[in-house]
Structure 1
Amino acid sequence: MLACPCCTKMSVTTAVFYSSTSALRKILLIRPKTAMANGGNYRELRWFTPWSKPREVEEHFLPRTIQKITGQETVPFGDAVLATKDTCIGSEICEELWLPNSPHIEMGLDGVEIFTNSSGSHHELRKAHIRVDLVRSATAKNGGIYLLSNLKGCDSDRLYFDGCAMISLNGDLVAQGAQFSLSDVEVLTATLDLEDVRGYRAHISSRCITASRVTSFHRVRVEFSLSSFDDIYTLTSNPIQWKYHSPEEEIRY
């Protein structure tokens, strides 16, 4: 995998206030969050409105300062995915992974092969087990590559965010990020073959039948590829075993 669009969380005001992700450098898509965390430590509904128009996309006029930087007047805004020359990329935001009907389910059935998640999940004792299970389950049932990033460090209140970035392929973990690291930035990489996703999915006949009935997402065309003809012999990353901290180690950190 030679290149990848970069996503960042942001807030967008149209007629309402949305929490969203967008691709950097040139804004390819603003994808608003469809489910808000509103229990425990979180009160996102106090500030944001979830996007409630499945599969719908609007044209969003950018602020003039952004127009000057990117050279764009409008960008797609809504429940859509990115289609490159060689694959399809979808995005979830934090809480959406924890839903019983997570967006990655129908995205995967519609042919999305790579999922990104920009998460802000605070630390709780043994919570890493749940995150790992959710990500592995997402790719085990539906195939695909899942890239999960998470905040690190303390906020201005009482929460601590413990990282635990990860990359999963077809139910296996192929890369693990640090937990409780003091580093401000961490980059996690893996070399994976998109054909492994396609072969995995083709062997699950029940999934194929379900996929034939799914409503398609709007696709935003992107004129570049994540792969090239030169990387056909590149070795791919092997599955790994997640290294969990003991309860005592978590408490110590």
Structure 2
Amino acid sequence: MISIDNLSKVFHSRDGAKVFALEDVSLTVGDNEFITIVGPSGCGKSTLLRLVSGLIQPSSGSVAIDRTIVIEPRQDTGIVFQMPVLLPWATILDNVLFPLKMLGRDVTGGIVKARHLLNMVGLGGFEQKYPRELSGGMQQRAAICRSLIHNPSVLLMDEPFGALDALTREEMALEVLRIWTEEPKTILFVTHSITEAVLLADRVVVMSPRPGRIAEIIDINLPRPRTFEIEAHHEFQKAAQRVRGLIFGNRDEQQTSS
């Protein structure tokens, strides 16, 4: 379980001015729950994920995973960024195994797991290829495998499909759902796509403009497994419309007040 309690983050610009990225964010995420986070650009979505990961520390408030306060990156947490960030000189198999090397775990024993993950995402047979030999979507699949190799209980995904074309993006969204079904994890998934947010989530967290606060949390009561055909479902359209209204309503209010 992830417990986020009154979390705030303030950065300082070069001229010393304070930039309030997040303010009093509180959220509880259950085990194996799939949470998507949406909001306007600059609302602190990525900052929230970095705080949960332990890559940065809050200005106030706290993040706890399984009742342990997060003060540094944890071995039970995996991260997928917008870009794959694969090692260009290493094969795809070695890239997937890299976290095990960093954690001092048994790499030889991890090869079976790595091959299983690569097969699961359609990269069987590409183990000895190099990143430059793969498409962007294939590289991101490899990055997802790398984030899962050490069997984390929490997976943080920061706009992982943002650099992909529309068709590949849809394919990858369904791939993540399939992986989550086969190997359940607690997932926090940041996206700019309202459709993606509703398709994937158990709950959608909608953020307000900076300083980022939680404007609303929307339950997605749609049957699983899901495909993009579910977009025609009345409840899907209702949820997407609510998310859209919150995001653009907040933006319009901010522009009116400025």
Return the TM-score normalized by structure 2.
Answer: 0.33
- Greater share of residues in helix: 2
> Comparing both chains, which one has the higher relative contact order based on Cα–Cα distances under 8 Å and sequence gaps of 6 or more?
2
Return the TM-score normalized by structure 1.
Answer: 0.34
